[in-house]
Every structure is written in C-alpha cells, then in structure tokens.
Amino acid sequence: MKPISLTRYLIEEQHAGRINADLRLLIEVVARACKSISIAIGKGALGGVLGDAGTGNIQGEAQKKLDVLSNDILLEANAWGGHLAGLASEEMDHSQPIPDAARRGNYLLLFDPLDGSSNIDVNISVGTIFSVLRCPDGVTTPGDEHFLQPGTTQVCAGYTTYGPSTMLVLTVGHGTHVFTLDREVGTFMMTRRDVQVPADTKEFAVNMSNQRFWEPPMQRYVADLLKGKEGPRGKDFNMRWVASMVADVHRIITRGGIFSYPLDEKCREKGGKLRLMYEANPMAFIIEQAGGAASTGRQRMLEVQPTGLHQRVPVFLGSRNEVAEAVRYHEQFDREG
C-alpha cells in the first residue's frame, strides 16, 4: 500500500478529533522548517555552513554556524506561522512571545534546533528536537514561567534526524509514527505507523569515558552489563554511542536499546548534561508512546516539575524492562547504599 503523507496523517488525526487545525498547521510549519534545515545540512562544506559561528549560547557552548542557521530557520518559520503564543530554544537565553500582529495561537513551541551539532563537521547524523505545550488560559504574553509544565502536559513531540535519509518521528499522544522525507517531491511520507520499542534489549548507549565520574548505582549497573552472560544479567550486551542524542534515540526507536546520560561529577552541579524541556521531555513522550520508558533514574521523566527553561536532568530511556532495571540499581543504592 502506498505510504500516506504527513499532511494526510494530520488531517486524519484532526478528523478523528485527536488534534485541532491549529496544532495540525503548527506541525506542518515545523516539518517545513526541518526540510529547510535538511537542505542546509546536506550542502555540507559546499554550503559554507560548517564550522564555528564564533558565538556562544546560554549553555556556555560554542555555537556552530548550523546551530545559528537552524535556530533562525525555526524562528522565521514560526514567527508568522499563526499558531503560537510563544517559543523557546536551546539557543536563546529566554523564551519569546509571538507579537499580536502575527495572529497568535495558543501553543508554546520549544526546540533544540540542531542537537549533536559537534558531529556536523565530521558528517555524523544530527537532529532537531521539538515539544509543544498549551499556553495557560488567559496568558496573552507568555514568559519563561509559562513554559515550566511537566512533560505529561505535552500535546505533541517530535524529532527530525538528518542522516542518510531525513526522518521525522512524531507523536500527538496517539502512538509514535515515522515519516521519511521524499526529497524529489519534498514531502514527508509515513514509513512506520505505531512504532513499538522491544521491552528488552542487549544494547546500551552511554559515554563510557565518564565511567569514573558516575554515581555508584550507575557504575554497578554498567559493570553488570559488561559481565555479560557470566554475570547477573545472564546475557551479553553490545554498546553504541553516537554522541548525538537524536541518532542514538532513533536507533532505539528502530530496534530497541537503552540510552543513558546519567549524573556524573562533571555535570552534577548542573543537574545533568541533557536539557529537560527540549531534549529529555520530548524524547520521553515519543518513547513512552512507543511502549518504552524514560526516567531520571529516580523518577518518571514526564512527571518532573520543571524549575528552569534550560534545566538539565539525568536521562535513562528506551526498552522499558531495561530502563526499569537501571532504575532498580538506583533505588537499591538509595535504600541500602
């Protein structure tokens, strides 16, 4: 059967009463922006977009030219998209309300415009991550505080991975679905409906170079993985680490696994490495809608009450039984030391 387009999927969701026209059109605007980002990335060295921008962001990270370009593409696409009350980005210190003249909607859009951008210059997959919240009733000019909603309040989450093919993975709360960009036509076509992440796995993703900085439960958890079938887990494990969250999560969406960026001594003061609002929460929503699980190691990710727009958290997400196992190590440590 011929795959259906993203537009048709969204119309069907609207006709089923699961989304409204504003959210449908917002998703279309974001998808169109991701197509533009894909084209810019695809030019590589020929597009004059590689390398550092010579600027930094609130995260204290040097910005790549494509970080800035991707952020600008998403800002321009949404400034007059007509469906937003405000937006927030990893690349911007504070959120930005949409001016009245731009016919605001009642949604809040958060995004990491180009996650994993340190991989750009070595031609490894990167991605865009986005999350959609409702603007609180009666708020006409939303500020940072209005974005601080737990992940369970998301109405939509998605990521686009810019790899050998450009793929958009999306949930509006009724399953997780995969769309592949048909470059000849310029349309995202559904290539997987209702993804189901296997409950168990033999593959883990973590940056092992941080091992000496991890908390004891994380050290014990990974040490037991590495013992393989002779150890308490009774099976051998494989490891992958792309250092691009979107690429690692997409592998898990595709074949299962567990992804972790735990607390370590280097990022403990900040609460973790990855950002809650526009990395961990959207990925958690996508993974849970695909039958997986997402946790801080001690709490369901989607139930974390945010305290800051750029707040960081420890992340464990993927195959639900493996995430539960990692959480068990942390709970046991908290009980018994």
Annotated binding site: 90, 112, 114-118, 207, 273, 279
Check if the beta carbon of residue 302 is closer than 8 Å to that of residue 296: no
Exactly one of 13, 91, 115, 264 binds ligand P6P (CB under 6 A); which one? 115
Coil/strand/helix, residue 44? helix
Spatial separation of the C-alpha atoms in residues 294 and 288, rounded to whole Å: 7
Segment lying near ligand P6P (by CB under 6 A), choices 29-37, 69-77, 145-153, 239-247: 239-247
327 φ, ψ to 5°? Answer: -65, -35
Check if the beta carbon of residue 284 is closer than 8 Å to that of residue 218: no
Q: Is 264 in the site for ligand P6P (CB under 6 A)?
A: no
H or E segment at 53? Answer: strand 52-56
Orientation of helix 245-255 relative to helix 281-289, angle to 10°: 10
Q: Among residues 258 and 274, whose Cβ is nearest to ligand P6P?
A: 274
Exactly one of 116, 217, 272, 318 binds ligand P6P (CB under 6 A); which one? 116
Spatial separation of the C-alpha atoms in residues 265 and 115, rounded to whole Å: 23
Site string (195-214) toward ligand P6P, x via CB under 6 A = ------------x-------
Q: Is 118 in the site for ligand P6P (CB under 6 A)?
A: yes
Segment lying near ligand P6P (by CB under 6 A), choices 35-43, 74-82, 110-118, 306-314: 110-118
Q: Is 245 in the site for ligand P6P (CB under 6 A)?
A: yes
Q: Is 58 in the site for ligand P6P (CB under 6 A)?
A: no
Residues annotated in a binding site for substrate: 115-118, 207, 273
- From residue 113, how far is each of 66, 129, 217, 243, 249 by CA, in Å? 9, 7, 33, 16, 16
Q: Is 243 in the site for ligand P6P (CB under 6 A)?
A: yes
What tokens appear for 156 in the block?
A: 């939509």
For ligand P6P, the binding residues in 289-328 under the rule CB under 6 A are none
Smallest gap from Cβ 267 to ligand P6P, in A, equals: 9
End-to-end CA distance of the chain: 55
Segment lying near ligand P6P (by CB under 6 A), choices 8-16, 28-36, 111-119, 182-190: 111-119
Q: Among residues 107 and 221, whose Cβ is nearest to ligand P6P?
A: 221
CA atoms in the 13 A half-sphere facing the CB of 135? 25
Residues near ligand P6P, by CB under 6 A: 115-116, 118, 207, 243-245, 261, 273-274
